[in-house]
Structure 1
C-alpha cells in the first residue's frame, strides 16, 4: 500500500485527485460505454481536482503552519524568512513540520528547566548575599548600641568594641570589593598582564604571608616530594598569586588542627603545568563538589564552622583561571582532605 506519510503537498494533491477521478471515470465508462469520454473525464477530473486540492492545502493548511513558524521564531518575518515560508515550507511534509515543532518544544522545555534552575540559584544567591551582609552589619549595630548605652565610659570596653566593629567593617569592605571584582570578571573585563615566572616562588611567598595564620592552627606548609624542581609558567603573576592565596587560605580554614597543606607542581605534557594545593581536613561530600565554585556556596559543615571570608574566593579563582584559557578542578573525600588544582601554560625557555 502507498505510504502517504511523507508526501509533499503536490504529491498529496495528485494522489487525492487520482483516487477521486478513477472511480468517476470508471463509472462514466460503465454507464456510457464510451472509453474516450471516460478518458477525457479522467483527465479533466484529475487536473481540476489536483489544482483545487493543492490550492486548499497551500492556502489553508500552510497559512496555519506559517503562523505556527512565526510564533516559534517570535519575530516579524524577514525577507529571507518570507522566502522560506513561500518556497521551502510548502515542500515539507506534515511529518517534517511535526518534527520541527517537536524539536522546538523540546528546546523550550530545556530552556524552561534552565530558567527554573537559574531562578533557584538566584534565590539561593540572594539568600546567601543577605546572610553575608547581615552578619557583620548586625555585629556592628550591636557594638555601637552597647557603646551608646553607656559602655563608652569604660575605656577598655570602648576600645575592644571599636576594634570588633572595625574588623566587621573591614569584612564588609572586603565583601564589597570581592563582589565588584567578580562582577568585572563575569563581564569579561579582566585584563591579564602575562609574564614568565617560577610557580614555586609564588607558592613560597604565599606560604610566608599566611604562616602566622597557619601557626595559630598548628598547620604545616610543605611541597610534595619531587616537586621542588623550578617550573616556569606564563601567566598574570599577581592574579595567580591571588588564586594560590585563596586556595591556601581555604586549606587553613577547613584543614584539621595540626594538619598539613601540601603544594605540588607537575609538567604534564611540556605545554602545561599542573598546580595543586591539598589539605588533610574535613573533605567535601560528593554531592557538593559540582557547586563549590559558585558564588557564596558553602557546604553545611563549612557553614557551621566559624570562618571569616566573603564566600567568593573559589568563584574568583575559577574566573581567573578560565580567563587564562585553562580550568580548575577539585578532588575530595570526607575525612581525608581536599585537593584543588589548575593548569597554566608552561613558560617557553629561550
Structure 2
C-alpha cells in the first residue's frame, strides 16, 4: 500500500495498465496459444490502457488538484506557478499532494485559531478600555453637573469637587500617556539608552521615591539577606526604574496592612542578573497568572478593590524588559503573596 500511495501519476498509469494487460494476455494465451498474438494483445492493451488512464488522471483528477493548489495560494497563477503546475505537480504522487494539502489545512487552522484568539482579545481590550475611560469621565461629569447646578457658589463643596475633578482629569491624562507609551513599545519605537549601574542602588532609590505611599499601610521595604553585595547591570536605567516603580506600586496597592516588600538580586550565570520584587499581599489565583501581563487585565479580586491605575503597568513592564532582550516572570499564591522577577545583562 505504501508503494502504491507514493506512485507518481505516470507510474500509477503504468502500474494500472500492467494490472489490466497481464490477466487479459493470460486469458488470450489460454485460448489462442499463439505467442505472437498474445504479445501483440499485451502491448495493445497495455499501451491503450496507459494512455487512457493517463488521460483520465490528467483530465479529471490532476486538473482539479491544480485548482485546489490555486485556491490554496489564493492568487492568479504566475508564469513560475504555471510551470510548477504543468511540469512539477504532475510528477508528485497522490500521497505527496495529500501531504501538501494537509500542511496547508493545518497552517490555515492555526491562522484561524490565532485570528479567533485575537478577536477575543480585541473584544476584551475594547471592553476594558471603555471601563477604564468611563470611570473618570462619569466622575468628572457628575462633579461638573453638580457645580453647574449651584454647588459652585457653596464654599463648603466647590473646592472639594474641583479637586476631585482635577484628580480624575489627571487619571485620564495618565491613562492616555500609558496608552501612547505602550503603542510605541508595541511598534518597536522604544530607544534604549544603556549604561552600567548598580541595581541595588536603583531599587532602593525607586522605593524611597514612593515610600510615602506605603506609609498608610505601614508597609516595610528590605533587601533580602545575602543580596546586599552590589551587582552592576547594563541597561536603560530610567526604563528599568519605570519597571521597578510599577512593581512597587502594585505591591503597595495589593499589599496587606503592616506588610513587607522584599527585593532580591542574584548573579545567575555571570551573564545575567535576576531581580525579584516580592510581597506578602493578596496574591493571584493560578488561573489568572498567564494573563496578568495583558493590557488592562485585572483579576476579579483586583477589580473589587478600591485601587486606581491605568491597568497598563505590567504590560509596559513586559515590553520594556523584552526590549532589553530579557524575560519577566511571576509566581504567586492567593493569601500568600506575589513575586515578579526579570533579568538584566551584567556589565559587558
Structure 1 length-normalised TM:
0.95
Aligned to 1:136: 136
Find out whether 1:288 has 2:288 as its counterpart. Answer: yes
Residue of structure 2 in register with 1:53 after alignment: 53
For residues 21-36 of structure 1, the aligned pairs below 5 Å read 21-36=21-36
- Partners in 2 of 1:221 and 1:23 — Cα distance? 92
1:98-247 to structure 2, matched below 5 A, reads 98-247=98-247
Matched with 2:91 is 91
- CA distance in 2 between counterparts of 1:234 and 1:133 reads 37
Q: How does 1:306-325 map to 2 (within 5 A)?
A: 306-325=306-325
Query: Cα deviation per residue 1:27-83 (whole Å; 9 max; x = unaligned)?
Result: 444444421122122112212321221132123311110111111121222343333
3-state SS in 2 of match to 1:110: helix
CA–CA distance in structure 1, aligned partners of residues 26 and 283 of structure 2: 86
Mean CA deviation greater in 274-283 or 32-41: 32-41
Query: 3-state SS of the aligned residue for 1:270?
Result: coil
RMSD: 1.6
Aligned-partner Cα distance in 2 for 1:210–1:2:
71
Corresponding residue for residue 13 of structure 2: 13
Q: How does 1:332-343 map to 2 (within 5 A)?
A: 332-343=332-343
Runs of 5+ consecutive residues of structure 1 not aligned to the other structure? none
Please state whether the residue corresponding to 1:227 is helix, strand or coil. coil
Structure 2 unaligned spans of 5+:
none
Question: What residue is the counterpart of 1:256 in the other structure?
Answer: 256
CA distance in structure 2 between the partners assigned to 1:37 and 1:288 by the alignment: 82
Query: 2:110 & 2:223 partners in 1: Cα distance?
Result: 46
Distance in 2, Cα, partners of 1:78 & 1:202: 59
Partners of 1:198 and 1:40 lie apart in 2 by 94
> Secondary structure at 2:156's aligned position in 1?
helix
Deviation per residue, 1:164-195 (Å, 9 max, x gap): 00000000000000000000100111110001
**Secondary structure of the residue that 1:169 maps to in structure 2?**
helix
Distance 1:10 1:281, change over 3 A: same
1:155 counterpart SS class: coil
- Structure 1 window deviating more from structure 2 (160-169 vs 192-201): it is 192-201
1:107, distance to aligned residue in structure 2 (A)? 2.3
